[in-house]
Structure 1
């Protein structure tokens, strides 16, 4: 059973589960991936803590991990990119494996021979820098937007979290379509709520992006499929 540490935010968690269902394409209930979901929207804002030292999310993240383990989870996925700032600490205190979004995305990009990507993410994820660090190990160059564009991205993320998907998508597109980033092959949607906005605005926009929720769902499905076949 796969444990899902969600609620960051709730829409992203539902989107992740829908992706997992769509990938399974089961003909009966029994063919779908068994999951145990711990959705905790009350976990303090991850980006705020990383950037400005607000309330530390780690204690509640670890508590959720322990709840999932106690409930019978055999591996854990976290459909929130910024929360991966605490990945190493969580792994050190977990008795079961945890998927890492950047590693899964790096494997995907390597298989597609994509070497130059841009990252659309929260301020916390940029500051954490784990995407650059991990993708560099795979020979993949990651471009960050400039500071003004990062503020525009953050405005878009806040709009998406407030339910204004189209307004949020427009802010993201102002950055993604800027001529400064014309050499980028793909944009990593490094916040799991961003695909919701772009898909709502125009489904075709996702063809130029790497959807972190889609990648995590695919990794979970393949893990379960391999486990079920043994």
Structure 2
């Protein structure tokens, strides 16, 4: 075997939110890497801290601020020499600008990565599946509006079912048995005009992959999009520092 003459930039993963979602992202990072030998893969250092305070509680009910724990994790990645940092969690996004603003690491946003995968057709709204806290914070709604897109959300009853599925995945339930309600939720978004839906929670990304029947709409997986952007940035030649556009994305569903 031949050693890679140009090892990748070191990627830092700030994870643990939740552990299964972090593991799912790392698997997608490996899958997104065009490698034929071990040495072709992206170099990674990971800080996975499941004790980071609940982002749901902080955003919905003024619970403990997760920022100090996020800062601590970012410190560990910086000390390890990470050049790029990613956070495979959608709901934590409102806290990340302040965490990474003054650090030398390149921060790749899962939200920004996801929006690059939207179809060119702007005539139909984009369906958004996300946690209660992410919806309350307007994470994807604001990003879509800023991008000149319209969106549609699940109704209140469907949102309750969605959150139950997320909690079950976090508690270790078998994803195959958890996703029964997703078809109806997504079908309702389609009835409201959506042809594409963002699976804006990393637990949902993992859950959708286990469904025995594909969903009726095209699904954008933020974790997979973040993985593509991460690989593109990590494999950038040492002499190049301009932004890199990753290969064309794929969607699942239909």
| TM-score, normalised relative to structure 2 | 0.83
Q: How far apart, CA to CA, are the structure 2 residues paired with 1:98 and 1:150?
A: 30
What are the equivalent positions in structure 2 for 1:87-126 lying under 5 Å apart?
87-109=96-118, 112-115=119-122, 116-126=125-135
Shift of 1:203: 6.7
CA contact (8 A) 1:77 1:98 kept: yes
Q: How far apart, CA to CA, are the structure 2 residues paired with 1:141 and 1:223?
A: 29
Aligned pairs, number: 228
Give a deviation string over 1:101-134, Cα, whole Å, max 9, x none. Answer: 121111221xx31432111111110011121112
Q: Which residue of 2 aligns with 1:47?
A: 56
Give a deviation string over 1:61-109, Cα, whole Å, max 9, x none. Answer: 1111111011100011000000112122113243322111121111221
Match of residue 60, structure 1, among 54, 69, 76: 69
User: More deviation in 25-34 or 171-180?
Assistant: 171-180
Q: How far apart, CA to CA, are the structure 2 residues paired with 1:114 and 1:105?
A: 16
Q: Which residue of 2 aligns with 1:192?
A: 202
Q: Which residue of 2 aligns with 1:208?
A: 218
RMSD value over aligned CA atoms?
1.9
| Bigger CA radius of gyration | 2
User: More deviation in 180-189 or 13-22?
Assistant: 180-189
Residues 18/179 of structure 1: CA separation in 2 closer, same or farther (3 Å cut): closer
| TM-score, normalised relative to structure 1 | 0.91
Q: How far apart, CA to CA, are the structure 1 residues paired with 2:76 and 2:225?
A: 24
Residues 181/3 of structure 1: CA separation in 2 closer, same or farther (3 Å cut): farther
Runs of 4+ in 1 over 4 A off after TM superposition: none
Residues 79/118 of structure 1: CA separation in 2 closer, same or farther (3 Å cut): same
Q: How far apart, CA to CA, are the structure 1 residues paired with 2:168 and 2:87?
A: 22
Q: Which residue of 2 aligns with 1:171?
A: 181
CA contact (8 A) 2:186 2:217 kept: no
Match of residue 224, structure 1, among 213, 234, 251: 234
Of Structure 1 and Structure 2, the greater helix share is in 1
Counterpart secondary structure, 2:81:
coil
CA contact (8 A) 2:186 2:216 kept: no
